[in-house]
Amino acid sequence: MKVAVLGTGMVGQTIATKLASMQHSVMIGSRDRNNPKAKEWIGKVPKLSLGTFAEAAQFAEIIFICTLGTGTLPALKLAGEKSLASKILIDVSNPLDFSKNNQPSLFVCNTDSLAEQIQRIYPKTRVVKTLNTLNSKVMVNPSTLTGPHNLFLAGNDENAKQVVKAFLEDNFGWTPTSFIDLGDITGARSAEMLVMLWIRLWNTLQNPVFNYNIVTPT
Amino acid sequence: MKVAVLGTGMVGQTIATKLASMQHSVMIGSRDRNNPKAKEWIGKVPKLSLGTFAEAAQFAEIIFICTLGTGTLPALKLAGEKSLASKILIDVSNPLDFSKNNQPSLFVCNTDSLAEQIQRIYPKTRVVKTLNTLNSKVMVNPSTLTGPHNLFLAGNDENAKQVVKAFLEDNFGWTPTSFIDLGDITGARSAEMLVMLWIRLWNTLQNPVFNYNIVTPT
């Protein structure tokens, strides 16, 4: 499948590399198609190429947005409404604001979310919020952790969520029982707000490699 | 021990009844000491009594605040600064706002929290945020759920957190490994924001009786 991964940071790099190893053709989208740092690691992996946000979005059947939260809407603007229309957009980004001196906060939350903003601006795009609640190592290899743990999804398009689940099962090894559907795209509020706990837990556990398992009565 | 439970709703009722069964003397604090609905269930349980917020706070060595989030600061104001000073206040409340027509949101979050507001207004009180992330059934009986699951704590006073942990172990059956310390009282932001996910999961699972287990690599 032709996949776009928008964002050249650790998350984009991990997802793109994993998908390339699964024989997908992956174009990394960057603001600068000659980004020297990105060129270096992309050049080492077969099936990976580098393009602008617009080129990557146009190329792809399915798109991951893995930029910093502050870069998400600008990157999608450069990708272009036409190239995003009708495609599945997996939104992995988090609206983190590191500009305050004391500690990270979110630049949108509570009564809105970054995923909802995307869905409002690109109504024809099938936005699925997922993977944003965990470290990229666990995203592409859930068995890094022992025992069951969960992955949340939210989105308005039921079919898109089914496609994403199957894609994450086939390529990353998630299992059908690991998914928890938080409902429509407003469910992204709770998934994005969970990042505040994620940061705090990282600090407590001194390790970003963990995930949540929802425990119910047997 | 003399315990105050401020709030006569389901959470206050469950905590107070459990503590009374453990032979603590528990005074339930209410706006109205003649609250007929509260009087009914309190009259049936030995070791329980009903008083005003002020009477309950004055009576107690340790205080639980279990009101609706909108009632938390008003209840504490009625309890009175003097009666709260130097005592441990276990803040179980959540800043939920049900006034909007579409779906619940928080009336404080992200860069502040209800627990921080309490701590700022009552600097001599030893505020510990905990228990707010789960159903009251699980609060007082963690073994309702099978397998390990976690309870978060946040607070500025290390000694108070140790006392609260021991109290929750002795009276509710939490185990030392179940606790995750989120650090100082600003950690309450993430614990309170988690309530948005809790509501969404309740809807998905069609059951409020669940909790989070943080899964790490072995």
Rounded to the nearest angstrom, the minimum Cα separation between B62 and chain A is 26
Query: Does residue B214 belong to any structural domain of this protein?
Result: no
Whether A183 sits inside 8 A of B200 (CB atoms) is yes
Is B216 at the interface with chain A, CB within 8 A?
yes
A46 in Cβ contact with A16 (< 8 Å): no
What are the percentages of helix, strand and coil residues in chain B, rounded to 5? Answer: 45, 20, 35
For A71, the token pair is 């870069």
- Select the residue of B111, B204, B212 nearest A183 (Cβ to Cβ): B204
- Nearest chain B alpha carbon to A179: B204
Domain tally for chain B? 1
* Through-space distance between the first and last CA atoms of chain B, rounded to whole angstroms: 40
CA distances from B214 to A150, B6, B177 (A): 10, 30, 11
CB atoms closer than 10 angstroms to residue B191: 26
- pLDDT of B102 reads 77
**Pairing relationship of beta strands A88-91 and A96-97 according to DSSP bridges:** unpaired
Q: How many CB pairs under 8 A join A and B?
A: 122
Question: Quick check: B210 and A212 CB within 8 A?
Answer: no
Query: Other CB atoms closer than 10 Å to residue A137's CB: what's the count?
Result: 15
Intervals of chain B under pLDDT 70 = 101
Residue A212 falls inside a structural domain: no
On whether residue B196 sits in a domain, the answer given is yes
Pick from A110, A204, A209: which is nearest to B105 by CB?
Answer: A110
pLDDT band at A218 (very low <50, low <70, confident <90, very high): confident
Does residue A125 fall inside a structural domain? yes
C-alpha distances out from residue A47 to A3, A16, A65, A94, Å: 10, 9, 19, 27
In terms of residues, how long is chain A? 218
pLDDT one-digit tens code per residue, B157-175? 999 999 999 999 999 999 9
A197 shares contact with chain B (CB less than 8 Å): yes
Q: Does B143 touch chain A (CB under 8 A)?
A: no
The answer to the question of residue A210 being in a domain is: no
CATH number at residue A68: 3.40.50.720
For A117-126, the pLDDT digits (tens) are: 999 999 999 9
B182 touches A at CB < 8 Å: yes
pLDDT digit string, tens, across residues A87-127: 999 999 999 999 886 789 999 999 999 999 999 999 999 99
Shortest distance between the Cα of A68 and any Cα of chain B, in A, equals 18
Cβ pair B182:A190 closer than 8 A: no
Ramachandran area for residue B38 (φ above 0: left; ψ -120 to 50: alpha; else beta): alpha
User: Is residue B213 in a domain?
Assistant: no
Whether residue B86 is contained in a domain is answered as: yes
Q: Is A84 exposed, middle or buried (0-12, 13-18, 19+ CB in 10 A)?
A: buried
Asked if B101 reaches chain A (Cβ–Cβ under 8 Å), the answer is no
pTM of the predicted protein model:
0.97
Residue B94: burial class (beta carbons within 10 Å; 0-12, 13-18, 19+): buried
Q: What is the pLDDT of residues B75-97, one digit of tens each?
A: 999 999 999 999 999 999 999 99
Report chain A residues whose CB lies below 8 A from the CB of B183: 200, 203-204
Contacts of B213 in chain A (CB under 8 A): 212-215
Q: Is A109 on the interface with B (CB under 8 A)?
A: yes
Range of the domain at B162: 2-205
- Give the tens place of pLDDT for each residue, A41-50: 999 999 999 9
Asked if residue A105 belongs to a domain, the reply is yes
